[in-house]
Amino acid sequence: MSLSPGIERLNERLAILHTRHGYSLLDLDSYTAFAKAPGPALILFTEDPAKVPETWDLTVILPEAVTRTNADFRVGVLAPADARSLAARYGIRIWPALLCLRDGEYLGTIEGLKDWGAYVRRLPELLAAAPSRPPGIGIPVLDANAAAGFATECH
pLDDT of amino acid 3: 72
pLDDT of amino acid 152: 44
Q: Which residues of the chain have pLDDT under 70?
A: 1-2, 137-155
pLDDT of amino acid 155: 40
pLDDT of amino acid 5: 82
Residue 152 lies in a domain: no
Residue 155 lies in a domain: no
Question: Which residues have C-beta within 8 Å of that of residue 154, sequence separation ≥ 6?
Answer: none
Residue 154 lies in a domain: no
**For the chain, how many structural domains are there in total?**
1
Domain that holds residue 72: 5-147
pLDDT of amino acid 4: 81
pLDDT of amino acid 151: 47
Determine the Cα–Cα distance for residues 64 and 68; give it in Å rounded to an integer. Answer: 6
CATH number at residue 70: 3.40.30.10
Residue 63 lies in a domain: yes
Alpha carbon 27 to chain centroid distance? 13
Distances (CA, A) of 37 to 24, 40, 43, 55, 133: 13, 8, 13, 26, 18
Stated pTM of the model: 0.85
